[in-house]
Structure 1
Amino acid sequence: MLRFSTAGESHGESLVALVSGMPAGVPVDLEYVNRELWRRQQGYGRGGRMRIERDTAHVLSGVRHGHTIGSPVAMTLENRDWKNWTEILPVEPGDPAKHKAVASPRPGHADLAGSLKYDFHDARYVLERASARESAARVAAGALAKLLLKELGIEVASHVIRVGKAELQRPVTWDEIKALHGKDEILLNCADPESEKAMKGEVDGILRTGDTIGGVFEVVAHGVPPGVGTHVNWDERLDGLLAQAVMSLQAVKAVEIGRGVTAAESKGSEVHDAISYGETDGPFTRFERDHNNAGGLEGGISNGEDVIVRGYLKPISTLRRPLGSVNFETREPVKAAYERSDVCVVPAAGVAAEAMVALTLARLVLEKFGGDSLKELKRNFEGYCVQIRNF
């Protein structure tokens, strides 16, 4: 089974990503991994932290001579800002006078709930781990999953479909979404320039008010064969696993598969994707769909269409004009604490969601097809593709 975990705090010395279960022989391109990390740091509306950090992955184990070797892959991502926090967040007791306590929790953040849970009268320890900075380690882990999936012809990419009230105004193709990955400048990662211009206007308006803004990103997995995931147990359904994976990202408050939201107000004849049988082979079978309203999933199983997952991102909870809060010690009303923050992170959240989708798909692909080496995995995968092509 493919498993991953992360460790580290927002202003700690480094972040750590640990990935186990990768088959041996998967090519690991560190330039690709680092570009994924770079993509996460981009976007119009990012804050000052992104001018400090230049995330790069340092591999400690599990990769030798450019390929995985079957053992756990451990990676660290240095926090350059750590030099400014060594006396504020030391491992040792340190000097309490130099600690930077967070005594007034921010509405919308984990500050108060986490402080109550762990009995902290300082939200610093909560926010350091709850911060979306942690998602950088997920992106590093997800890059490995993407490299594995790529060997099987499966690709994962994202684009932004809404910022505030500005929405994507036309359908876009897989090729347009994929092309965003190669851009050297990322504003709001929208495939339609006119729509992106309107989204930029939303961010500009919010920036002037000291507020923050959210939006919706869409992750597309292209080339996923029918049969990934299963209907037989509730906790093995692909849609449920994807929803959990994307919902686990900081600030994501809702997840949608395909036309999930609008389907609820539509007639069945308008929602379900009619099936036909083509004269020529498609990517996997001759069975075809007239639409992809289901988002590539039926009954918890991939059906051969693009897998489409949307994440609904709330506005960042750290405001330059803070909301009301309460001081932990005095119980007096005060303004919430302010930590250096972003205005809009929808494009970055999309990149982190790509990682979570890739990790979920890679795990289920390995469970279905097995293989201790990439060669064995490919043999099993290709044999299955022949089976469903001949169905």
Structure 2
Amino acid sequence: MAGNTFGTLFSISTFGESHGIAIGVIIDGCPAGLPLDLDFIQAELDKRRPGQSKITTQRKESDTVQILSGIFEGKSTGTPIALLIPNEDQRSKDYNHNQTVYRPSHADYTYDAKYGIRDHRGGGRSSARETAARVAAGAIAKLLLKHHGIEIFAHVSAVGTIQAPQLQALEIPELLQIREENIVRCADPAVAKEMIEFIDGIRKDGDTVGGKVSCIIRNCPAGIGEPVFDKLHAELGKAMLSINAVHGFEYGSGFSGSEMRGSEHNDIFLSGGTRAKTVTNFSGGIQGGISNGMEITFNVAFKPVATIMHSQQTINAAGEITEIKGKGRHDPCVVPRAVVIVEAMAALVIADLLLRNKTSKL
């Protein structure tokens, strides 16, 4: 199977299956001498782990991470860093009903068509369980970015048709505090309450709903990103679209920018200072595929979870029409747990391009 590695200089390779013994990740290219705060890494995983609230899957995983290599006396050694996260609460019997039946809008059919074999227990490598390994790696990327003063913040900006207003211009520690005070991880307390009630109602109906995660990256220096195929927004787009259930990515003005005139959309430069600034930020902090020093902004759209607790028509491996009904423990809405995944993938992109940028000039 190809496609298990992401990144060029700061690269990660994830491994393991949803119902296997463990999942994990190997990070290559992390500079030596970086303090590796295990408590911080674990705290990031705790934000993604299942069973944390009434609006997430009730699978119980502690997601306790173990660092197997690449660390000495609390710092990175420059060698590959191996992280392992044991699986503890698999219920493979919950998937016995779909051994030969394809779940609608899942990877069951396409996986079988490609490989001729599939792990029906939670989807194997196609399961969102794999993203825990990304969060662990992303935590180390965040520690590297923190060393350079770069901050990343994401929150749930929409659930279904419920939209949060644009983020206030607050410092990221304050935004984090507001976000973590509610289980949906929205930085607007009033809207968060409405979102939680809506998701809980969807859960009780045996249905699911989609949503959006908005992300900002602050203090990223100008000059990050490559101008042709490896544009910063292209790398961010690939990173986000590789996350399970993601169906859309936009940066800056996004799709709404297509409705504007150039005279409205151009970000006019301000004079003064050594760091360029613009009056507006429709570019989302990226111009020509390279960061311009302004705040990098983007949105990520997640589809409704495909497993619903209703009977649906489908087909089996023989191509025969049959019915299937979801069983087991599943999220009614993925976005509360996806926030930290979005941050992790953004951190991995910026960390990699930051290291690559060191080779661009003397």
Residue 208 of structure 1, CA deviation: 2.7
Alignment correspondent of 2:257: 263
Determine if the alignment matches structure 1 residue 159 to structure 2 residue 155: yes
| Distance apart, 1:214 and its partner CA | 0.8
Q: Per-residue CA shift, 1:83-111, capped at 9, x if unaligned?
A: x55xx7xxxxxxxxx97752221111101
Alpha-carbon distance change, 182 to 208 in structure 1, aligned in 2, over 3 angstroms: closer
Compared CA separation, residues 302 and 185, structure 1 to 2 (3 A): same
Aligned twin of 1:14: 22
> What one-letter code is carried by the residue in structure 2 that aligns with 1:248?
S
Alignment pair present for 1:310 and 2:291? no
Does structure 2 retain, via aligned residues, the 8 Å contact 1:107–1:336? no
SS in 2 for 1:219: strand
Mapped pair 1:328 → 2:328:
no
- Which residue of 225, 245, 250 maps to 2:244? 250
In structure 1, C-alpha distance between the alignment counterparts of 2:178 and 2:79, rounded to whole Å:
31
Secondary structure of 1:323 counterpart: strand
1:55 to 53, 63, 77: 63
- Show the counterpart of 2:270: 276
Report the counterpart of residue 133 of structure 1 in structure 2.
129
CA distance in 2, matches of 1:177, 1:39: 16
Describe the superposition over 1:61-87 as per-residue Cα deviations: whole angstroms up to 9, x where unpaired.
0011110000000000011115x55xx
Q: Is the 8 A contact 1:44 1:186 kept in 2?
A: no
RMSD, aligned CA: 2.5
User: Residue deviations 1:231-286, cap 9 Å, x none?
Assistant: 1x22x2111111001100000011011111110112222222111113xx4xxx34
SS of the residue corresponding to residue 81 of structure 1 reads: coil
**Secondary structure, in 3 states, of the residue corresponding to 1:124?**
coil
- 2:327 is aligned to 338
**Structure with greater helix percent:** 1
User: Does the C-alpha gap of structure 1 residues 100 and 70 become closer, same or farther in structure 2, counting only changes over 3 Å?
Assistant: farther
TM-score by length of 1: 0.84
Instruction: Give, in angstroms, the shift of residue 13 of structure 1.
Output: 0.9
Instruction: Kindly indicate whether the alpha-carbon contact (under 8 Å) linking 1:162 and 1:217 is maintained by their aligned counterparts in 2.
Output: yes
Shift in alpha-carbon separation, 1:39–1:296, aligned structure 2, 3 A? same
Query: How far, CA to CA, are the matches of 1:164 and 1:15 in structure 2?
Result: 31
Structure 1 position 194, deviation (Å)? 1.2
Aligned mate of 1:225, from 213, 218, 221 = 221
Partner in structure 2 of residue 353 of structure 1? 342
Contact kept in structure 1, 2:26 and 2:81, CA below 8 Å: yes
Aligned to 2:116: 119
* 1:58 Cα offset (Å): 0.1
State the distance in 1 between where 2:268 and 2:148 align: 28
1:284-320 Cα distance to aligned partner (Å, 9 max, x none): x342211212111011000001111211000111111
Give matches, 1:95-244, under 5 Å.
Answer: 102-120=99-117, 124=120, 127-175=123-171, 179-180=175-176, 185-231=181-227, 233-234=228-229, 236-244=230-238
Aligned length: 352
Pair member with larger Rg = 1
Alpha carbons of structure 1 residues 77 and 183: separation in structure 2 relative to 1, 3 Å: same
Encode CA deviations 1:356-381: one digit per residue, 9 max, x unaligned.
110011001011126xxxxxxxxx9x
Matches within 5 A, 1:25-36: 25-36=33-44
Letter matched to residue 355 of structure 1 = A
Deviation at 1:227, TM superposition (A): 0.3
5+ unaligned residues in a row in structure 1: which ranges?
A: 89-97, 371-379
Q: Is the 8 A contact 2:151 2:172 kept in 1?
A: no
Deviation at 1:56, TM superposition (A): 1.9
Between the aligned partners of 2:156 and 2:295, the Cα distance in structure 1 is 17
Q: Quote the Cα distance in structure 2 between the aligned partners of 1:158 and 1:167.
A: 15
**Residue equivalent to 2:6:** none
Q: Distance in 2 between matches of 1:71 and 1:309?
A: 33
The CA deviation at 1:7 is 0.5
Identity across aligned pairs (percent)? 37
Distance 1:277 1:219, change over 3 A: same
| C-alpha spacing 1:40/1:126, structure 2 compared with 1 (3 Å) | closer
Note if contact 1:105-1:337 (Cα within 8 Å) is conserved in structure 2: no
- Contact 2:70/2:76 (8 A) holds in 1: yes
**CA 1:151–1:43: 2 relative to 1, 3 Å:** farther
